[in-house]
Amino acid sequence: MFLSLQIVVGLIGYKVMKRVGYFRDYSQGAKADAGSFSLICPGVAFVVFGMFFIVFGLVKNGLVEPLSPAFFMLLLPLALIQLQTVRVYFRLLCRVTACGSCKVTTAES
């Protein structure tokens, strides 16, 4: 129930942020400030909660065997979200700190 609620609230938040142009302006656009790092918080929280759900909710209760194909299938969405979160983090880090090592131009934005 809690995992479903987290997914629903996350999807609503995603739709709202997309509608107001938050991703366009901060993740891919020219705006950059420390507050834009809030984009990575939902991804991190979802992965952490998902790991607790899988390990303590399913594996420890004997519903899923550890290191089984089902276990890895449950981990797959979490891994994909984590990869996307890391990608957004480094993009934001490069924009906010103007590190120069990323080759971001206004044409890519």
Kindly report, residue by residue over 40-85, the tens digit of the pLDDT. Answer: 888 888 899 999 999 999 999 999 999 999 999 999 999 999 998 8
Could you give the 3-state DSSP secondary structure of residue 6?
helix
Q: What is the pLDDT of residues 3-22, one digit of tens each?
A: 788 888 888 888 887 888 87
Please calculate the CA angle 66-3-72 and round it to the nearest 5 degrees.
Answer: 25
Q: What is the pLDDT of residues 79-95, one digit of tens each?
A: 999 998 898 888 888 87
Q: How far apart are CA 66 and CA 34, in angstroms?
A: 39
pTM above 0.85, yes or no: no
Q: How far apart are CA 71 and CA 88, in angstroms?
A: 26
Per-residue DSSP letters for 34-65?
Answer: GGGGGGGHHHHHHHHHHHHIIIIIIITTTSS-
Helix-then-strand count for the chain, H and E: 4, 0
Residue 24: CB atoms within 10 A of its CB come to 13
What pLDDT is recorded for position 109? 43
Q: How far apart are CA 92 and CA 107, in angstroms?
A: 17
